[in-house]
Amino acid sequence: MAAAAALCSLISGCVEEAGTAQSPSDPGPIHLALFGDGYPNAGDPCRRAGESAYTNQFLDDAADLVACPPGTDPGLFAYTTGGRQVAKVDGWYLFSIPRR
């Protein structure tokens, strides 16, 4: 049992160190008006972007506007979510993701 706990701890440490994306608690650029606890799932590094003078140009009633931090693979994120990249600002990627 102790060996399993040590292995789990070791693996968890490796995963945290290997990732370059920031955590969902990162406030990000203020003009992205980030909210939520991760996108598409809680704890994920991407977050919904709210309404601001900057994001208004990308908002759509039929889609979620999502911001992903530096270190995110934009091609993979777009592919897995069905979204499209609409901008990159301050190292953050903005995606419009259709609601299904």
Q: What percent of the chain has pLDDT over 70?
A: 75
Can you spell out the DSSP letters for 45-89? SEEEE---TTGGGT-BTTEEEEEE-TT--HHHHHHHHT-EEEEEE
pLDDT given at position 1: 41
Condensed to tens digits (0 to 9), the pLDDT of residues 23-67 reads 556 789 999 999 999 999 999 999 999 999 999 999 999 999 999
Q: Are 90 and 29 in contact (CB under 8 A)?
A: yes
Closest CA to 68 of 95, 41, 30: 95
Please give the distance of CA 39 from its chain centroid, rounded to a whole number.
6
State phi, psi for 36 to the nearest 5 degrees. 95, 175
